[in-house]
Structure 1
Amino acid sequence: MDTAFTIFLIAVSIIAIVLIWIFWSFAIGAGWEPTSKKIVKKMMEMAEVNSDDVVYDLGSGDGRIVIEAAKRYNSMAVGIEADPIRVLWSRIMVRIFRLQNNVKITWKNIFNQDISDATVVTLFLWKNINQKLKPKLLGELKPGTRVVSYIWTFEGWEPVKADNYENIYLYIIGESDK
């Protein structure tokens, strides 16, 4: 086989894999855009995360929120991510920061994972996914559980706190959903 043609096939294959990876995120309901460290810090502060908390990040991407919760607040944290490449990356970062005792990254669909032990839930998903999550959050989370959403609100719920400049919204189960 001609070397130029082999290089062409490899390049096309790499491009195809990258495109599938990118569109996979959209197919499952949320494209990936990393949340800035500044926003992560504000989300944690708004939720008043502390060492007694169990923080769940739904659609955890590269793991930055759960890593921050464990590093800065000594919380237990669980990231749920459907993208296997981001799960692998997150697990590597958890090991690099030596947070294996505080952070667990799971490769799951957020709708099929039990989140009932969460005291704080963070998310940066699309509005329609937030709406689909409402019954799950109400059915599994205990009253008083804090839910922090970046960018998208929950229709019909009233935030307890809102940073309208940064688009961060804090909801509390049993208060916001009345």
Structure 2
Amino acid sequence: MILLSILILVIVAGVYMLYSFIFGAAYFPSYDIQSLRRAVKKSLELFKDQDQIVFADLGSGFGRVCFEVVKIDHKIKCVGVEIDPIKVFWSRLMASIKRLEDRVVFIRGDIRKTDTRGFDIIYMFLWPGITREIEEKIFRDRGRTRVIISLEHPLRLGRVEKLGKYYIEYIS
């Protein structure tokens, strides 16, 4: 009975991991949160006249980035977009426990199909090819986005600064 339980657990874990890879949602958490804070603070200079700044974390995983960025400034509202329903459920639960439901929202969706026009700042830590695809989509959509922050993977369509392992792209 124990062996059967272990086998079922291994199969479920395998299917879950396979699901993540098929949908491009392999999980590796963002790191160097201190540099991310510096990148966001630097970006906030562009939004000093706004009452609210909408920050998006594309591929939000378990929500760590959203929970961190709302600590930076009371004007920031974070929207996490994640395809994995388990991570979305967990992130929503944590937002509720932390009493941040009014400032942090998690939606289940494919980041490649997400309407990015309503976001001021977009953060992503994705595979290089998907990073390029999303960057091109943001430029095509031409919404209100003025800053894109990418961990590790270079951005190339706007004016880009590098801060540690983060690339900060300014869109005019």
Question: When the two structures are superposed, what TM-score results if normalisation uses the length of structure 2?
Answer: 0.85
1:173 Cα offset (Å)? 2.0
**CA distance change for structure 1 residues 53 and 28 in 2, over 3 Å: closer, same or farther?**
same
Identity score, percent? 26
**Equivalent residue number for residue 4 of structure 2:** 9
- C-alpha distance in 1 between matches for 2:40 and 2:91: 19
Count the aligned residue pairs: 166
Measure, in 2, the Cα distance between the counterparts of 1:99 and 1:159.
33
In structure 2, distance between residues paired with 1:100 and 1:19 = 32
List alignment gaps of at least 5 residues for structure 1: 1-5
Counterpart of 1:42? 38
Runs (4+) of structure 1 exceeding 4 A deviation are none
- Contact 1:57 1:78 (C-alpha < 8 Å) held by counterparts: yes
Q: 2:120·2:144 contact (CA, 8 Å) conserved in 1?
A: no
Give yes or no for the alignment of 1:167 onto 2:165: yes
Residues 63-82 of structure 1: CA deviation (Å, up to 9, x unaligned): 11112222331211100001
The answer to whether the 8 A contact 1:94-1:103 is kept is yes
Q: Could you give the per-residue CA deviations for residues 103-140 of structure 1, whole angstroms, max 9, x where no partner exists?
A: 11001101222121100000000101012213321123
| 8 A Cα contact 2:58 2:124, kept in partner | yes
Q: Does residue 1:137 correspond to 2:138, yes or no?
A: yes
Contact 2:161 2:168 (8 Å CA) reproduced: yes
RMSD over aligned Cα, in angstroms? 2.1
State the TM-score, normalized to the length of structure 1. 0.82
**Mean Cα deviation higher: 54-63 or 135-144:** 135-144
Q: Which runs of 5+ in 2 are unaligned?
A: none
Larger radius of gyration: 1
